[in-house]
Amino acid sequence: MKLVFAGTPEVAVPALDALIASGRHEVAAVITRPDAPAGRGRRLVASPVAERAEEAGIEILKPARPRDPEFQARLREIGPDCCPVVAYGALIPKSALEIPRHGWVNLHFSLLPAWRGAAPVQHSIMGGDQVTGASTFLIEEGLDTGPVYGHLTEEIRPTDTSGDLLTRLAFAGSGLLAATMDGIEDGTLRAVEQPADGVSIAPKITVEDARIDWNAPAMRADRVVRGCTPAPGAWTVFRGERLKIISVGLVTDRTDLAPGELAPAKNNVHVGTGSHAVELLWVQPQGKKPMRGADWARGVRIAPGERLGGADVG
């Protein structure tokens, strides 16, 4: 088939590579979000998908909005049979959905209908799931509601961050998307409607979602930290300033600390929760580089009974 691939971040690049390498289909163009400011100088930078497409000599389309008439006119000129999508970052209007004869097929990083929305991997970790996966489905106007072509499963490991899990799903899912394109082309694959039961929603994680509630059980703090790493980053407040929590360890045999109470030692620092303690393994104070929790605790000289949490004035 003639394909036009839509995607933007680094996580979409493995799928683009798989389609280019398949040799069975032609990737005639890619659609990606416009260049965005980045870095201290805030200069405009092309997306990872745009950079990969440029390396491969593939036409790049960067519409401000997918409903722009000029963009849709160019898409009609290219005449794709199908538009595979991975983390493109914009809603596709009906007028564009109707252009390719096989529609737009999305690689979504959950086992649909679980975790429909922008942040399925983060929510699967924060929700305590033990297994997740990826699905390919035909895009409709609803939010991730279209019929499913195929799926794969992936175990969530006890130490997985959302970055770890998303990387594994991106590479495993690239093969699923390529196989879905093959099945659509040869007519052996039919999309199946999603079940009505088991629907859950995964909206974008906000900064407030990433704030640790030390009154909650230790397992909840661990899941928030892992689910929000690397972005937006779990955090708490210490002496009126935000403290980013990069990783924690569960200390199941310590229950003597009040929620948020800090207990520094020579080689570690523990903090109380609503159940047992956790160890602060890696933290990042405002304006500083990441550091080991024990090193941070020595530097700030924690007073007896001092706690994390409270008002954020930093």
Rounded to whole angstroms, how far apart are CA atoms 140 and 296? 49
pLDDT tens digit sequence for 192-215: 999 999 999 999 999 999 999 999
Retrieve residue 209's tokens: 């979602």
Are 128 and 224 a contacting pair, CB within 8 Å? no
Find out whether 93 is annotated in a ligand binding site. no
Rounded to whole angstroms, how far apart are CA atoms 304 and 224? 27
**Short-list 127, 311, 314, 309, CA closest to 215:** 309
pLDDT band for position 311 (cuts 50, 70, 90): low
pLDDT tens digit sequence for 96-106: 999 999 999 99
What is each CA distance from 13 to 5, 148, 160, 199, in whole angstroms?
10, 22, 21, 28
Find out whether 111 is annotated in a ligand binding site. yes
| Mean pLDDT taken over the chain | 96
Domain 207-300 = CATH 3.10.25.10: yes
On the question of a cis peptide bond just before residue 113, with omega within 30 degrees of 0, the verdict is: yes
Are 294 and 269 a contacting pair, CB within 8 Å? yes
Query: Which residue has tokens 């040799």?
Result: 23
Find out whether 113 is annotated in a ligand binding site. yes
Retrieve residue 62's tokens: 């960067």
Residue extent(s) of CATH 3.10.25.10 domains in the chain = 207-300
Residue extent(s) of CATH 3.40.50.170 domains in the chain = 2-186
Residue type for 94, please?
K
Residue type for 280, please?
L
pLDDT band for position 312 (cuts 50, 70, 90): low
Rounded to whole angstroms, how far apart are CA atoms 123 and 127? 6
pLDDT tens digit sequence for 139-184: 999 899 999 999 999 999 999 999 999 999 999 999 999 999 999 9
pLDDT tens digit sequence for 6-49: 999 999 999 999 999 998 999 999 999 999 988 778 889 999 99
Find out whether 281 is annotated in a ligand binding site. no
Domain 2-186 = CATH 3.40.640.10: no
Residues 6+ apart with CB under 8 A from 113: 144, 145, 194, 195, 197, 198, 199, 200
pTM value > 0.85 = yes
Continuous segment of H or E residues that includes residue 127: none
Question: Is residue 313 scored above 60 in pLDDT?
Answer: no
**Predicted pLDDT of residue 183:** 98
Radius of gyration of the chain from Cα atoms? 22
> What sign results for the dihedral spanned by CA atoms 246, 203, 45, 171?
positive
**Short-list 198, 126, 121, CA closest to 167:** 121
